[in-house]
Structure 1
């Protein structure tokens, strides 16, 4: 798509932007509209709680008002360590209503990583769920910043946890004005959220989203997922992950209902699906596995077909068939943290359903085509930047261009410039383009492992293994897993005369890594290398696939 050179015409004369005909795009207006149009519609379900849109809107304005009273404003970071709770939904609106930036932290990280995020994002406020108080305390001890800490005590959480802050969430909200006249962003390019992604080396990178991208991706979800008015969405996807793929904002577009879920467990999911008329949910392959493998006495008949949106590795044909029989229609998505979550969909053609199973599986294995709100998706040569032929064979790098691509990496101009070199966002994923324009991933140039929907850096796991005194060399690759999609598989060379068991190495890693990053399999032996000494990971990936 070429861009025309701008020349002045009669339509550029005396037809300027003004407040009456131009306002910055932001998802915050979606909640304002929903609350004014459907004030009594249930917006949030959580345990016995039923909160209408009028109250949700009031609470978000209270939060914005209370934050403003503490001096929080444009460009300030408010970090949250929360489960999928009503407070997390409120933060997606109340924080940016002040002009501040919401940083939803991954609750599965370790204290050191969270401490880094707090420092790097210069957090001014830190809202902490009681379940994660021990983790938050450790992070604060390691961090240099001293944010104002607010405790969130969810009545649905019955476990242990201690208060860390100067006040609790409900008391803080009570100090705010429910009629607060919140601020639209001065510019739709203003930052709305900060999301940390696991890189292949060093510390996580802070991905910055803007109001325009969030507003558009939220609309893209509505279109792609076929969300009708008053859709009911079950929160099985962590809201800390790419801002829940922007669905916290999507639901307001259709005045839909958020059904909160603290933990992804089969009984709770089936109960919510059956009792609340859930129409949509999202998740990694593990969510499908949890639903399908639940004991029969935990399952409940579904009152309607449920739309299930999944990302990461394409679901196997057998899993898709089983999901269909269980009452779910599965849509395969693809994206990255840098693209606000999913920006590519395997848009299904009805005639494909009549294909033989092997041909149908090949169609389902593809990542797909761009969202309606993404302007450019292509497979290109990373050196020449030439668009590669749509032959299903020529491998290149998958690249994105459009309004749902991040602003860049916070305080990291080098990585930002590398990611945008050539005028496209370089995903680091390698793939092919089929004759019909659908793309398909073939490998990950960054060796990222996607387990349960979470990115794991192979180098980070390798670094932990290298620190063991018995390890001479280590390489970590993805091993296919029916439950998690992929899990880390470690190939290890031991130093001469040294002995150690797989269990010992996994225990060693447990002291240095978050639990979900631990290698599930350890294989001992000499690592295959090129003539220059580089480990041949493609050989190891094949071994991991073969078991």
Structure 2
């Protein structure tokens, strides 16, 4: 390319260009607001100066033990201060943080530690037993660091070579860490759920972590010193990048080992919590808690929900508590949320059911994401924005993974045509908002007609007795497939299969009405997502109902 006058004598230098990295957020928070609270965990309260010093100690101690650029450090931790610190201290060394799902079995953990070539792992005492089993099947030597959280009162032995606090004592609180030389460098490794075959290792880069963290602030208009409650696991897409988001706002990390409604409401009152994230199951847990638990909350609380679209009952319940609900959408491959159902002022005057319809959409791209589009996966053309033509949601831009670790074929397929393919089927509306109709594998084809499981679920959620629902395909000799609904009722509520089918029949075309209803506690992932693959296995033996 021919140089022009805007290139000549105007070089990129250290004075005018720096690689984007979220590690700079904690440095700034400690410099500008050193005495402001950064972490709350039981009796532990640390400010940003103390937290920054601890992350530098962690980085220094890891470097002294041979951890450096391109190495992997795994973390088997709940939402504790050590997990917050790991999001900064590990990448300060140039290494990559692999936050492990704490509900996984030993075999899966062993695969991840082996595939990711972990050189060290931080292990909370609660998970020492499963990690001890996993490590027996890992071929490389792994430095095991015990984390003995005083908030954990259960059993569990120390299995490591050193305890976390002793490790930090050996580190330098003034350690001079260096930002990445290239913002494309890896910062984190996250494994997909692996419902079929081995899980894939999703690699994040510093630029993506930075841009998604800033986008979180922009989508929420998140103020300085926001108080964030960790209801979302930090192992899930690195907590949707919120460890870095909170640092960028010099906010407060209110840590939470385990979710229960009383503890959540107690912390919201005591600590003045202003923001939290969670799957629909978390929101429903709070909505359906006794009224006395919810009393005395004076501040505005902002909640972010991802996963299934929030039904009208959820929006109504959140409004009664005085909580403001924001619906986001994304996947592991796009750092968690990468679209938001941006609220329009004119929606406020609409009735709750119309607002629920609008808020159920997955929305528009995050501020710092380049593009989201619903495209035909074969032609790669955008589908008409008519709210009817189905295509696949695709992303492009900063908030997309580097690719899948050691899997170039899967990476190439995921980015085919210059877009990240989500596998989610959706429509686009004239206002630019998109709405998922289903996962490609979740579309039910009955008698040649396509049925969206999400559409059927939306109707069932409107029944006052329903807490959670999942609809999957059930094999049928005549129709090929018919809808089968698995329903979890609210505590103390009652409803029969016939009642729910009649409810569906009043709002759906006959071929979309479930032929089978099964009442049960729905199987869920550690992040609250319903495991439909488990329900598909059960659906083969569920008796159909003549509708």
Q: TM-score, normalised by structure 1?
A: 0.83
Q: Is the 8 A contact 1:118 1:145 kept in 2?
A: no
1:303 positional shift: 2.1
- CA apart distance, 1:199: 3.9
**Paired position in structure 2 for 1:14:** 9
Residues 473-488 of structure 1: pairs in structure 2 closer than 5 A: 479=486
Distance 1:248 1:26 in 2: 13
- Residues in 1 aligned to 2:329 and 2:108: alpha-carbon distance in whole angstroms: 26
Report if the CA contact (8 A) 1:80-1:103 is conserved.
Answer: yes
1:257-306 CA distance string (max 9 Å, x none): 00000011111101110011111000001111111222344333212110
Instruction: Note if 1:304 corresponds to 2:299.
Output: yes
Tell me which residue corresponds to 2:414: 419
Paired position in structure 1 for 2:464: none
* Equivalent residue number for residue 102 of structure 1: 97
Give the corresponding residue for 2:180.
185
* 2:338 corresponds to 1:338: no
The 3-state SS of whatever aligns with 2:6 is: helix
Q: What does 1:122-133 align with in structure 2 at a 5 Å threshold? A: 122-133=117-128
Matched residue, 2:46? 51
Q: 2:205: which partner in 1?
A: 210
* Local SS of the residue matching 1:154: coil
**Paired residues of 2:310 and 2:356 also in contact (CA < 8 A):** no
Provide the residue aligned with 1:470 in structure 2.
Answer: none
- 8 A Cα contact 1:140 1:146, kept in partner: no
Q: Which runs of no fewer than 5 residues in structure 1 stay unpaired?
A: 1-5, 463-473, 484-501, 528-539
Among 77, 83, 95, the residue aligned to 2:78:
83
Could you tell me which runs of 5 or more consecutive residues in structure 2 were left unpaired when the two chains were aligned.
444-452, 458-469, 475-480, 491-517
CA deviation digits over 1:149-186, x for unaligned, max 9? 00000000101100111110000111000000011111
- CA change 1:323–1:65 in 2 (3 A) is same
Q: 1:83-162, aligned counterparts within 5 Å?
A: 83-162=78-157
Name which of 227, 242, 255 aligns with 2:237.
Answer: 242
Shift of 1:69: 0.3
Structure 1 residues 341, 155: CA separation in 2 closer, same or farther (over 3 Å shift)? same
Judge conservation of contact 2:96–2:188 (CA < 8 Å) in 1.
yes
What residue is the counterpart of 2:507 in the other structure? none
Change (3 A) 1:525 1:80: closer
1:265 is aligned to 2:244: no
Q: 2:396 aligns with which of 396, 401, 415?
A: 401
Q: CA deviation at 1:143?
A: 2.3
**What SS does the corresponding residue of 1:251 show, helix, strand or coil?**
helix
1:248-259 equivalences under 5 Å are 248-259=243-254
Is the contact between residue 266 and residue 299 of structure 1 (CA under 8 Å) also seen in structure 2? no
What is the CA deviation profile of residues 510-529 of structure 1, one whole-angstrom value per residue up to 9, with x for unaligned ones? 9xxx99859469756679xx
Q: 1:254-403 residue pairs with structure 2 within 5 A?
A: 254-403=249-398
Structure 1 contact 307–331 (Cα < 8 Å) conserved: yes
Q: Distance in 1 between matches of 2:76 and 2:485?
A: 28
Two-structure CA RMSD over aligned residues (Å): 3.2
| TM-score (normalizing by structure 2) | 0.83
Contact 1:125 1:147 in 2 (8 A): yes
CA contact (8 A) 1:46 1:86 kept: yes
1:440-498 per-position Cα deviation (integer Å, ceiling 9, x unaligned): 000102449999xxxx9x99xx9xxxxxxxxxxx9998846578xxxxxxxxxxxxxxx
Q: 2 CA distance for matches of 1:274 and 1:111?
A: 38
